[in-house]
Amino acid sequence: MTTQGKAVSELPPAEHPRILVVDDQPTNIQTLYQILKGDYDVSMATDGSQAISLCQRRPPDLVLLDVVMPGIDGFEVCRRLKADPATRDVPVIFVTARDSTEDETLGLEVGAVDFIGKPVNPPVVRARVRTQIELKRQTDILRSLAFNDGLTGVANRRWFDERLQVEWLRCRRNKLPLSLILLDLDHFKAYNDHYGHQAGDDCLRAAAAAMKSRLGRPADLLARYGGEEFVCLLPETPPDGARAKADDLGRAVFELGLPHVDSPTASVVSISRGVASAMPAVESSPAELLQRADEKLYVAKRSGRNRTES
């Protein structure tokens, strides 16, 4: 266990749910760590500001939050987490010695899902944590079903729109670049006309799977934008990195080798790419970034297709 606001972990498997324990007293953190360490990846924060920063950087599956802390108290931490699109879905359990009806009511009003009293009872902690982790898992599954494209299995336009807003705000707050790639299968109408719509659906599925396999980071997102058009969201990615990724996605589709006899561009299915990057700022918007990517895609298509423009 570390004590400098770093990860508190015994390097559990990556699939273990992640829990953030927030308390200004190291002994309380140690107690909860010992209770949970066998089943969860436990990290810690010793004040409210640090907790918010950690959650924004990598949202955990559950937060165990003290109420009384120096600086920002637990109620305000919870309120801020619930107000941020990037962290609003993270469940919060208050772990506190304050057990009055008024405190519990306020905690529920600011967004907490449960209260655990101090001193903690290990079986109660395990049971209540297990319940909230399971509810979070079920919610994530339902959200995945709602936000996946039924044909290709990648994210749908609705999920992309939501993630774009979240990542725009996160990158703006942290002064990090954000990049987009718009991708359009070349001469897809001609492909459908020649091979039939069933083959067209198979082509879209294969192209989506090939491109998704080239995404190397959890935050990167490939979505079906509409018809034969896809979009790739690349947080914390500068222009050079986005262009390299666009070229890689183009190769992924081309290397499938799907015959396209009616394409004037290539003998196999290919894809055109438009790239745009920005340092998100208050005076700009995600819509402007999308517009620039669309303009670059138009240039790619006018310039011969099967290429990247940025």
Question: 273 is written with which tokens?
Answer: 């790419």
CATH topology of domain 157-309: Alpha-Beta Plaits (3.30.70)
CA dihedral (45, 47, 51, 54) positive or negative: negative
**Res 79: pLDDT:** 96
Question: Would you say residue 39 has pLDDT above 50?
Answer: yes
Q: Report d(CA 5, CA 255) in Å as an integer.
A: 46
* Closest alpha carbon to 306 in 267, 261, 279: 267
Give percent of the chain above pLDDT 70.
Answer: 95
CB of 180 closer than 8 Å to CB of 233: yes
Beta strands 62-65 and 18-22 are parallel
Question: 290 is written with which tokens?
Answer: 């999308």
Sheet of 178-185, strand order: 221-226, 229-235, 178-185, 271-278, 308-309
CB of 25 closer than 8 Å to CB of 47: no
- Burial (0-12, 13-18, 19+ Cβ within 10 Å), 280: buried
Question: Looking at residues 235-249, what average pLDDT do you find?
Answer: 97
Q: Report d(CA 291, CA 293) in Å as an integer.
A: 5
Q: Collect all residues with Cβ–Cβ distance below 8 Å to 147 and sequence separation of at least 6.
A: 155, 156, 158, 159, 162
Q: What is the DSSP code (8-state) at residue 280?
A: -
Q: Report d(CA 163, CA 161) in Å as an integer.
A: 6
The catalytic residue positions are 228
Neighbour tally for 173: CB within 10 Å: 13
Half-sphere exposure of 184 (CA within 13 A, CB side): 20
Question: Looking at residues 21-46, what average pLDDT do you find?
Answer: 96
Q: How confident is the model at residue 304 (pLDDT cuts 50, 70, 90)?
A: very high
Q: What is the pLDDT of residues 85-118, one digit of tens each?
A: 889 999 999 999 987 899 999 999 999 999 999 9
Q: What is each CA distance from 19 to 6, 60, 132, in whole angstroms?
A: 13, 6, 11
Residue ranges per structural domain of the chain: 18-146, 157-309
Q: What is the pLDDT of residues 200-236, one digit of tens each?
A: 999 999 999 999 999 988 889 999 999 999 999 999 9
Question: Looking at residues 282-301, what average pLDDT do you find?
Answer: 96
**Res 118: pLDDT:** 94
Helix (H) or strand (E) holding 33: helix 26-36
Q: What is the DSSP code (8-state) at residue 17?
A: P
**Res 7: pLDDT:** 37
Q: How confident is the model at residue 132 (pLDDT cuts 50, 70, 90)?
A: very high
Write the single-letter amino acid at 214: R
Q: What is the pLDDT of residues 160-173, one digit of tens each?
A: 999 999 999 989 98
18-146: CATH, from 3.20.20.150, 2.102.10.10, 3.40.50.2300, 3.50.50.60: 3.40.50.2300
Is the pTM for the entire model greater than 0.85? no
Question: Would you say residue 10 has pLDDT above 50?
Answer: no
**Res 9: pLDDT:** 34
